[in-house]
Structure 1
Amino acid sequence: MAFRHRVSKTLVPTSKQKFIHVAGQEMVPSQQLLLRAGMMRQLSMPNLLTSEHWKKTGRWESTGQEMFKLRDRKGTDFLLAPTHEEEVTTLIAKEVSSYRQLPIRVYQIGRKFRDELRARSGLLRGKEFLMKDLYTFDVSEEEAMKTYDEVVLAYRRIMKRLGVPYAVAEADTGNIGGTHSHEFHILSRVGEDSLLSCASCGYTSNEERAIGILPTTLSKAATKFRNKEQVPLWIESLDVVPRSSVRINPKFQFGVLKTTSEDNSAQELCTLVAVATSGDREVNEVKLSKAIGKVELAESVEELKPLLGEAKVDCMMICVDQSLYPGQAPMRPKDMDIGETLPEDLSSLVHSHKINSQKGKGLKVVYGDYHNCKPGDGCPHCLKNKGSHEPMETTRAIEIGHTFMLGTKYSKPLNAVFMPATGQAPEYMQMGCYGLGITRLLASIIEASHDHKGIIWPEAVAPFRVVIVTSEDEGCVSAAENVYDVVHRALESRSADVILDDRSETTLGFKMKDAELIGYPWMVVVGKGFLRTGKVEVQHRKTGEKWTLAWDAIQPFFQERRL
């Protein structure tokens, strides 16, 4: 069945309301009609956002330094849009009131702004970029999950059509939130993301989220690591690391965890956190924060001072990673006394009298998975399903898309509700959000598809599928015009699929080099030989194949290669 645009599948929130005034000013006719026809809403999804909705969801504080915050001349808080969950949820909350209006899918292609700490590599990581966003609203978690699976499948089809190596990885939901998330990657050696994957079952996960089975044989880096600093040696003396057949000395990284006081006072509680891993493992900040809360990490005890500021440490916590007791069962948390004296490095940072007065509670010890997985770790799916230790491999990749099952993370604080079919109490809409980075995708495709001559565009996204180049000879220029018409008819598509390089000031050789640099998938060469033989040469950029075609063979050749 041919595709048809349908009003029933389109958000057209018309209104009978007479819009007359806004912010104390009388509306002009265009304002009134755009609002009544459902084509415009005040503060829908602009680039400059108010802080109101972001403060309701808590993301004004939690997003961190990546957000561009500013104030207008009146002192009102604004931000440059890094994403639009709050705005689109507010929009739908005002327009939808019944289950009959759901499901809804709304999308946009627009600019986003993020204050990247290390903006680099051109379009791969910039402070301003283009993105395609899709936001979905469903009546139930089950229906929202169906929608999620449909969009993930659609994204997979997009990746397949691109024709470049890609991977879909389980991912952390991060600051956007939700319960379910996948990242879409183009594989590239310049990628900033590390993916761990299993060749046996296909399991793939971002390094931040990957769960691996620790090898039974320890590496040399794990068994030979030794601490020399005062504080780590003091922590080791507390004997909180489980004993095993092979003694593994812990490596420590320190951080600060700030939490609200139990008595709900304005004062924050500062916890000094020491994360202990084996010598060959690094701390995974995502896993750590999910386990105990958002921790600001430092490379040393000395570097904790700027994180604390004027505050002092109220309590201490040691997070003992599984890499220090491989193969052993998980251990329960415990509270410990830390003795009357603290190492010099710590005594200046803590409320010593507070910690020492908490008999049996001065130090909390917790055990868990706080490390980054690495190549050679076992696949958790294969262990569960087959009972085998299948080693995972690592791949560098560029993230170009992300999908999130949001649930009610935004609909609850922004009161996006609908009346269900039962007609009883209103229910919160179940949401999902899905993004494709357009500018990053552009650069990622080139990273994955180029050679010493230039770009090799996949046909699905090439600016033009076919370029026709011609020598400066007048007869060839005239013939190239006719070739253009033949190819265009053969492809039965928009004229944008074919372009004619008719520059008169450049040679045929120069045009051909340009065509290879730009990366058109197909090149038709109308050289001086055409005047003698009536034949053109067709070149395929990706494979380097060449065909010599007579005039009547051009149209059927390209008809066979329609997308």
Structure 2
Amino acid sequence: MAARTWRAVRPLISRHASRWNCGHGRFIATDSRNRLSRFWTPTGLVEADLKAQDAQQKDAKPNAPKDHSYSFLARAGYLRQVQSGIFHLLPLGLRVQNKLEALIDKHMSSVAAAKVALSSISTEALWKKSGRYSANSELLRVKDRRDSGFLLAPTHEEEITAMVAASIKSYKDLPIRLYQIGRKYRDERRPRNGLLRAKEFVMKDLYTFDYTHENALETYEAVRSAYNNLFDELNIPYTVAQADSGNMGGKLSHEYHFIHHSGEDKIWSCDGCEYVANEELVQHKTEEKPSDHVMVYTAISADHKTRINIHVGMPGAKDQYNTFVWDQHLNPHAIRSAVEALEVELATGLEQDTLAHLVSNTTNTVNVYDIRLRSQLDSAEADKASHDLEAILPGDTCPKCEKGHLTPAPGIEVGHTFHLGTRYSKPLNAVVATPENAEKVAVHMGCHGIGVSRLIGAAAALLHDEKGLNWPRAIAPFEVILMAAPGVPEEEVAEVYDTLSGAGVDVVLDDRTGKSLGWKLKDADLIGYPVVAILGKAWKTERKVEVQCRRLGVKGELMAEYQDGLTKFLGRL
């Protein structure tokens, strides 16, 4: 009988142990409920912090629209800035990051990827082998007492490739899918926009290894599908754009963007089809235009040794082109592609006098011709007229469909998939024996990233109003916050909490003393819980739970089966 009585009483003791005192001691809390009284949420405006961030943003991009994501994250107690571009995550921020990492883990398992944790310290020697050391001006270099030559890795292609190369011998060891979520570093000249461009940031990197090009492309498409599923589950509108691989290498890549005014990328989309590309890869339909004369503009290579003459046909009077604006006349990315062997520095950043002086001392000359001039050139020159060098302008005709027109929009890049090919496996000797070749062949790689900390900042930028943040359910610190008006018995509050928690809802109880219900509601709006559940007058009289959801514009009351109603709300978030 005694044992049976103890089994009945023990859950009550566990439930309320956190409130019991015994003499001069105090029992250790065993209540497993999430309570804000035990969770540090330092909300409120941090004036010095926010002013410093605003000053950095103004210095970096003086005329850019102000980004409010950092100020909301700071006011709502998610993070604090300690140095320019360096942040501490507070408990709320860490919960959001943990939720996002769990979501990533879920979707990486769908492509059979195994998780690793690579060191943030890499070596200069590996980066020199891959050829990326001298070309990367954003590396944070570290010297130890032996002057060994380390750096804080902004990415891990070199390290992961060297590790895999030492572990594989045959094509039978492939495929390999390895990913990590960790801190990365970049010597950012002008950190700005809070988490959107920082010196220290959290990234997810997936590295894939296949023994044929065809298998690598199949892997690439599988990862793209997993990314689409992940971003769909976030329930934040996103855009996928064809992208340039840059110094990562390879010829195939796609970017994932949130369209927002604080974005630093320009994303072009067609209003008549699904064509989307970033500004480095966008094209318009090349249409023949009558050329009354040829204008020749000048650029210079990055090493200032090669003059680049850019020939473009112009209709109309020559005088109208005396005032030259690069963005209006020429596409700098197309010019860089046309002289692929050179790292081109265009005249956009040089005064005319400076450019003239540099050009006068060049030892080589390269001529680049717009593709529209091909019919006017001799055979040798026509071979050099392979690119459309005209600037892309809003309203230009889409290259993929008959009637569509192109429109630009600013985007925040939050993910990127690269098909790398053998860009790193060859220099780092990641090779395997195959049944088709007597000699070993380089493996084919892919690299697929998600900016974890940037995505948190981007979500805050997109999903806020004048009251505060509006997190999507998938990464909200808690899905539901439960609070009660004075006079509601704690046992009834606990009953509602347990019912929601038992239904799988991630709920937190605002049991902080000395705070009015009105204050708690404003604080909940600032923090941005998807759903606020209130036990107020309607609960006392009719056992109804008041529910508020700003993102859906919902405010109402739910009766006995309130957990089902809440679950339906959450399903739309």
Q: What is the 5 A alignment of 1:477-496?
A: 477-490=490-503, 492=504
1:169 partner SS = strand
**Corresponding residue for 1:196?**
268
Match of 2:283 among 204, 211, 218: 211
**Corresponding residue for 1:177?**
249
Could you tell me how far 1:215 is from its partner in structure 2? 6.2
CA deviation string 1:95-146 (max 9, x = no partner): 1212222111100011111222332111111111110000000121111101
Q: Is the 8 A contact 1:479 1:526 kept in 2?
A: no
Could you tell me how far 1:76 is from its partner in structure 2? 2.9
**Corresponding residue for 2:427?**
413
**Corresponding residue for 1:36?**
none
Letter in structure 2 aligned against 1:205: A
Could you tell me how far 1:488 is from its partner in structure 2? 0.9
In structure 1, C-alpha distance between the alignment counterparts of 2:203 and 2:357, rounded to whole Å: 36
Match of 1:272 among 287, 307, 332: 307
**Corresponding residue for 2:551?**
542
Match of 2:365 among 303, 316, 321: 316
**Corresponding residue for 1:150?**
222
In structure 2, C-alpha distance between the alignment counterparts of 1:484 and 1:413, rounded to whole Å: 58
Greater displacement, 156-165 / 366-375: 366-375
Q: Is the 8 A contact 1:189 1:396 kept in 2?
A: yes
2:414 partner SS = strand
Q: Is the counterpart of residue 376 in structure 1 residue 376 in structure 2?
A: no
In structure 1, C-alpha distance between the alignment counterparts of 2:187 and 2:243, rounded to whole Å: 22
**Corresponding residue for 1:501?**
510
In structure 2, C-alpha distance between the alignment counterparts of 1:391 and 1:10, rounded to whole Å: 40
Letter in structure 2 aligned against 1:426: K
Match of 2:335 among 265, 281, 288: 288
Q: What is the 5 A alignment of 1:347-366?
A: none
Q: Is the counterpart of residue 468 in structure 1 residue 468 in structure 2?
A: no
**Structure 1: tracts of 5 or more residues without a match:** 13-38, 217-243, 259-268, 336-363, 383-387
Could you tell me how far 1:297 is from its partner in structure 2? 2.8
Match of 2:354 among 303, 326, 348: 303
1:419 partner SS = strand
2:165 partner SS = helix
In structure 1, C-alpha distance between the alignment counterparts of 2:535 and 2:407, rounded to whole Å: 49
Q: Closer, same or farther in 2 for the Cα pair 1:190/1:281, shift >3 Å? A: same
In structure 2, C-alpha distance between the alignment counterparts of 1:128 and 1:10, rounded to whole Å: 25
Could you tell me how far 1:248 is from its partner in structure 2? 5.9
In structure 1, C-alpha distance between the alignment counterparts of 2:519 and 2:131, rounded to whole Å: 57
1:184 partner SS = strand
Q: Is the 8 A contact 1:192 1:396 kept in 2?
A: yes
Q: Is the counterpart of residue 48 in structure 1 residue 48 in structure 2?
A: no
Q: Is the 8 A contact 1:487 1:555 kept in 2?
A: yes
Q: Is the counterpart of residue 167 in structure 1 residue 202 in structure 2?
A: no
**Corresponding residue for 1:553?**
561
Count of aligned residue pairs for this structure pair: 449
Could you tell me how far 1:535 is from its partner in structure 2? 1.7
Letter in structure 1 aligned against 2:125: E
Match of 2:299 among 232, 236, 254: 254
Q: Closer, same or farther in 2 for the Cα pair 1:537/1:300, shift >3 Å? A: same
TM-score normalised by L of structure 1: 0.73
Q: Is the 8 A contact 2:297 2:311 kept in 1?
A: yes
Match of 1:438 among 452, 456, 462: 452
Letter in structure 2 aligned against 1:97: K
Q: Is the 8 A contact 1:179 1:406 kept in 2?
A: yes
In structure 1, C-alpha distance between the alignment counterparts of 2:145 and 2:358, rounded to whole Å: 32
Letter in structure 2 aligned against 1:549: L
**Corresponding residue for 1:448?**
462
Q: Is the counterpart of residue 523 in structure 1 residue 532 in structure 2?
A: yes
CA deviation string 1:206-253 (max 9, x = no partner): 01111112567xxxxxxxxxxxxxxxxxxxxxxxxxxx7453673735
Could you tell me how far 1:483 is from its partner in structure 2? 1.2
1:209 partner SS = coil
Instruction: Name the one with the larger helix percent.
Output: 2
Could you tell me how far 1:403 is from its partner in structure 2? 0.5
Could you tell me how far 1:487 is from its partner in structure 2? 0.8
Indicate the percent of aligned positions where both proteins have the same amino acid. 38
In structure 2, C-alpha distance between the alignment counterparts of 1:549 and 1:155, rounded to whole Å: 36
Letter in structure 1 aligned against 2:242: E
In structure 1, C-alpha distance between the alignment counterparts of 2:376 and 2:178, rounded to whole Å: 45
Q: Closer, same or farther in 2 for the Cα pair 1:448/1:51, shift >3 Å? A: same
CA deviation string 1:431-488 (max 9, x = no partner): 00000001111111122222111111111111111111222x2435442222111111
In structure 1, C-alpha distance between the alignment counterparts of 2:565 and 2:149, rounded to whole Å: 60
1:504 partner SS = coil
Q: Is the 8 A contact 2:370 2:389 kept in 1?
A: yes
In structure 2, C-alpha distance between the alignment counterparts of 1:436 and 1:53, rounded to whole Å: 23
TM-score normalised by L of structure 2: 0.72
In structure 2, C-alpha distance between the alignment counterparts of 1:71 and 1:57, rounded to whole Å: 20
